[in-house]
A and B are shown apart, each in its own frame.
Chain A
Amino acid sequence: MMGARAARRIRKRRRSGLAFGAVAGIATAFGLLTLALLIGAVVIEGAAAFDLQFLRSFTSRFPERAGVRAGLAGTIWVSAITAASAFPVGVAAAIWLEEYAPDTWWSRLVQTNIQNLAGVPSIVYGVLGLALFVRAMGAGRSVLAGGLTLGLLVLPIIVISSREALRAVPDSLREAAYALGATHGQVVFRQVVPAAFPGILTGTILALARAAGEAAPLILVGAVGFIAFTPTGLGDPFTVLPLQIFDWVRNPQPEYRQLAAAASLVLLIVLFVLNATAILLRNRWELRR
């Protein structure tokens, strides 16, 4: 039979276990509550300024007339350029690493390098964009320079997520194709890549969502918040939603802070749509397998 001391000890251990579980639960709740508080603050503050007029107008010296048209258009332009530049290179690099690369010092260097690039602060990419695209390539403070800079930023993310998608393709598929006499290229491009494509696309969309929220590298490339036109070509100056938010939030007038909240709301909606698309793609893909 259990002594009284042992029973006390067990009760104590149970109690401390429960207490710890509660603390861990509270910590988890903290993150979620903050998320709710943040979204709540943006919605409550921003809803007043958020209407169709706000989406259709350019920024203005008069807060009641200001809108995010230039930022929204710029974000779409920049994202398109980012996707067009980073997607082919990133996916090709991933295919090489997963399906072609021999195990040499070089392929290991490429892998390590991509891991390191993924950890470089975004603002540092701005410096590279400034030197490479704005100056050396002569693109100036254009939407092209901005899009390419963010392309560099998301390149490692696209490589890493595409590799994961390729790795998820079962080897049996490759072996079956070889058994039917397919060449290596046929196996990769007719079986493996199509099978991995939804996963690659999902990763790319998530990477673009990351790029759409970036402001720091674009500040270095020379983009500013106060732009009252939309780009008509690759060489035009531009602004993006995050830069408009930055511009407005720094303005001490309360009306501008409201605009910053409304623009944040627009940005969050854009990101929500992108993420929902990615999740939808992933779910459909998982259903099919």
Chain B
Amino acid sequence: MRPGTEGAHDRTPTTESLFTARSAGGRRERFVSALLAASAAATVLVTVGLVLTLIFEAGHFLVEVGLLSFLLDSEWTPGFRPARYGILPLLVGTLKVAAIASVVALPIGLLTAIYLSEYADRRARALLKPLLETLAGIPTVVYGYFALIVVTPALRSVLPGIEVFNALSAGIVVGIMIIPMVSSLSEDAFRAVPRSLRDGAFALGATRFEVAWRIVLPAAASGVVAAFILALSRAIGETMIVAIAAGDLAGLSLDPRIATQTMTAYIVQMSLGDTPRGTIEYQSLFAVCMTLFLLTLALNATSQRIVRRFRTVYR
């Protein structure tokens, strides 16, 4: 949690006691505060609804297919008879795309953050940061278009044997999409490192590079790792780019040149198709969705834990 999120609790005690004394009166005030509390509770209900929906819908599917074969079967062939529903091929496809995205986004995002926080002067930063944030605001369908129309043809002209729909192009573009996330979260971590640490290193004769690489980066390591994990989670949940550019072949191959179906792309394919509701084929959508939910939740929680546990507090 970031400093300051404690909100109302860090007010001075005098203010605190004042407002409890005052708000004890007034029925209207109590009504308003109940309304506000109810709104806050509603945000928790969203999660409860989400979890119940996923459990209920995916439950049917898992009872029918069996948890073990869902987790361990190496084939995902909902269209075949007999259909097989092993999540592994979709998971491999998802991780393949996310890995390619990480290879693009982690180094570039990290270097961008170092540049912005340690090299760029105030004016350059004021110009560059909003431009980079624009990259995060581009809708993912537009990225999908970019992947299919610009990146894929470019890759095909360089690497022969690459398919029209492939994991590489989608992965690269997902990576581009998450660069601003890596860079801005890492930069926040760098800027939390106190000036005195840098000044001390400079005074000992360190170069700018040595200060950035040996002083600032290790001091901000937990924040950077947390940023990486969050970005990975974002890459795993990304939908439209892979639905447009990665294709729909669910397989265990790690080849980045071939068509690859991710979990999200499967959910889109299933929702667009005319599979009747209530069939096991249709319900597989929810089981995939639940897997996606649990995976991203675990990553996000890990990221938050890292920030909380390993944050170096400077005074």
Which of A's residues lie within 8 Å of B, judged by CB?
13-14, 16-18, 20-21, 23-25, 27-28, 30-32, 34-35, 37-38, 41-42, 45, 88-90, 92-93, 95-103, 107, 109-117, 119-128, 131-132, 152, 155-156, 159, 163, 167, 171, 174-175, 178, 182-185, 187, 189, 209-210, 212-216, 219-220, 222, 224, 242, 245-246, 249-250, 257, 260-261, 264, 267-268, 271, 275
Contact = CB atoms under 8 A, between A and B. Distances in A.
Given A30-B108, A41-B150, A93-B39, 5 more contacts: A38-B138, A132-B49, A242-B141, A246-B141, A267-B139
Given A25-B119, A37-B150, A267-B142, A121 B18 contact: no
Contacts of B50: 120, 124-125, 127-128
Nearest to B38: A92
Contacts of B112: 24, 27-28, 31
A132 B42 CA distance: 14
B25 interface: yes
Interface of B: 1, 4-9, 11-12, 15, 18-20, 22-23, 25-26, 28-29, 32-33, 35-44, 46-47, 49-50, 53-54, 56-57, 107-108, 111-112, 114-116, 118-120, 128, 131-132, 134-135, 137-146, 148-150, 176, 179-180, 183, 207-210, 212-213, 230, 233-234, 236-240, 243-244, 264, 267-268, 271-272, 285-286, 289, 292-293, 296-297, 300-301, 304
Interface majority SS (helix, strand, loop, mixed), chain B: helix
A107 B33 CA distance: 14
Contacts of B37: 96, 100-101
A110 B40 contact: yes
Nearest to B164: A252
A222 B268 CA distance: 10
Contacts of A268: 138-139, 142
6 contacts: A35-B135, A100-B33, A101-B7, A113-B47, A123-B267, A245-B145
A22 to B, nearest CB: 10
A84 to B, nearest CB: 14
A187 to B, nearest CB: 7
Contacts of A219: 268, 271-272
Would you call the interface of chain A mostly helix, strand, loop, or mixed?
helix
B44 A113 contact: yes
Nearest to A31: B179
Contact of A128 (B26, B49, B114, B140): B49
A93 B37 CA distance: 7
B35 A187 contact: no
